[in-house]
Amino acid sequence: MAPVAARAARLLTGRAAVLPALACGGLMALGQAPWNLWYVALAGLVLSMALFALQRRPRAALAIGCGVGTGYFGLALNWLTEPFQVDAAVTAWMAPFALLFMAAGLALFWGLAFWGAVQAPRARLFALVVSWGLAELARGYLFTGFPWGLVGYLWEPTGAIQWVAWTGSFGLTLVTLALAALLARGLCGAWQAGALGLVLVLGLLVGGAQMVPPLQDLGGRPVVRLVQPNAPQTQKWDRAYIPIFFERQVEFTAAPAQDGLPRPELIVWPETAVPRLLENAEGELRVITDAALPGRVVLGIQRSEGYDYFNSLALVTQGPKVEAVYDKHHLVPFGEYMPFKELFRHINVSGIAARAEGGYSAGPGPQLLDLGGEMGYALPLICYEAVFPQDLRGAPRPELLLQITNDAWFGNFSGPYQHLAQARIRAIEQGLPMLRAANTGVSAVIDGAGRVLKSLPLGEAGFIDARLPPPLRVTLYSRTGDLPLLGLLAVLMLLAFRPALHKSRRNSD
């Protein structure tokens, strides 16, 4: 080893490597919205792998992985402090602890991946690609899952994100890790591997850009309207402001069509847009449906059933008649429901985002919503259900994705933009258009290639009218889901750790 490389190896191993690991994780986070610095994020990922390559001891590798993860999640998930500012006098003190504990908890997935990979000494970078890819998949599924900010999302501002239609987001994450490993080997002296990595990164970018389909002809397609009341979370449930925001949405619903379009066939209000429980809201629903004539309305509303409360979406027509109801099933732990809620109820603690004592109850699961006519069937998603790729698969295939959300909880910096980015990725994975109505923004009409055709900016009240894009062809990922990736990871794990297994057997003999 050259003297400079040997000195670097001594300086960047063990405890001395923790701060560089945190910095690498921070660089990786800059690939997420709103920064979208994908090349900086890729550099941070490559440096993280090069740092790992210098480690020899499992404990040191664990520390490096946890350091990279803490730096990454601590910056990328900075919006997690925002919900605690809504009732700042009571909960603001919890904000830094919530971010730290969440970042450290998610970082443990990465730490374990690094710890496992260092024990396959003959192909440690290859083992890290496999174990890190498996860790990201596990993060998306275990303990209800939290696949926010996957490594592969660094490609979101580039054409390379189109590959998710084939691989899914977890698959693109594995590809990204493999490319970074080649580049890291180049940094460590294997220039041929580094050159191959550069060529493949270029191929990923160019190939993805070539996959973007041309804009569709929207002539004659149904017209939809998205309503954005822009109700700050600090005022949304204030009795003095409730009628103001409700009347604002009714006004937007009744307004003449924009851009010379006909009256909308469907009007979409955001999550928890109606200030009453569904069973008590007949008067409000009548006002809404009269304003929407001749269109239908999809709106966010809460409802109760016995002792259970639900965060729901309702399709309402004139009468008023509730045609269909969907109850959110993928709830936010500690936000919309409290694990062990009977225990927490004794100390008067409920979900931060929930209006019901003890939080919401989960609905039965994904279901299709018949919007009627040319619009066909929609798969409804409430708030952060759109961050779960696995929840969007099912038969029969819908004609569109329909998301209602209240991103006021996420603040005005990174959270709403990251949420929008993941909505775009879901549209690409499925090849389906998405209608997205957000309380404070960003409301958007998105086509099946992930293009935002029309949108309302964050923090602005208003509405948009647009024609609904048709669905694209069925994507490979929408057919297969993550099962092929899981099988591939299992095979790669056997290949990566086979030398270590043989060594363990020899030692035991």
Please give the positions annotated as active site.
Answer: 271, 328, 383
Q: How far apart are CA 155 and CA 218, in angstroms?
A: 28
Are 284 and 276 in contact, with CB atoms under 8 Å apart? Answer: yes
Q: What is the three-class DSSP state of 385?
A: helix
- Residue bearing tokens 């619009």: 375
Which neighbouring-strand residues pair with 381? 403
Question: Which residue, 145, 116, 119, is CA-closest to 132?
Answer: 116
Are 177 and 129 in contact, with CB atoms under 8 Å apart? Answer: yes
Q: Which tokens in the block code for residue 8?
A: 């670097």
Residue ranges of E strands in 318-451: 321-327, 369-370, 377-382, 400-405, 434-438, 443-446
Amino acid at 415: G
Sign of the alpha-carbon dihedral angle for 415, 330, 227, 368: positive
Sheet containing 400-405, strands listed edge to edge, beginning at the edge strand earlier in sequence? 369-370, 377-382, 400-405, 434-438, 443-446, 452-456
Which neighbouring-strand residues pair with 324? 315
Both ends of the chain: CA-CA distance in Å? 34
Residue ranges of E strands in 234-295: 266-268
Give kind and range of the element (H or E) at residue 309.
strand 308-317
Q: How far apart are CA 129 and CA 139, in angstroms?
A: 15
Q: How far apart are CA 472 and CA 470, in angstroms?
A: 7
Q: How far apart are CA 373 and CA 53, in angstroms?
A: 58
Q: How far apart are CA 471 and CA 480, in angstroms?
A: 18
Asked if residue 34 has a cis previous peptide bond (ω within 30° of 0), the answer is yes
DSSP-assigned letter for residue 457:
-
Q: What is the largest CA-CA distance in the chain?
A: 81
Phi first, then psi: give them for residue 347, nearest 5 degrees. Answer: -110, 20
Q: How far apart are CA 447 and CA 454, in angstroms?
A: 10
Question: Which residue, 219, 230, 226, is CA-closest to 257?
Answer: 226
Q: How far apart are CA 169 and CA 70, in angstroms?
A: 21
Residue ranges of E strands in 195-290: 223-228, 266-268
∠217-221-226 over CA atoms, to 5°? 110
Q: Beta strands 443-446 and 434-438: pairing type?
A: antiparallel
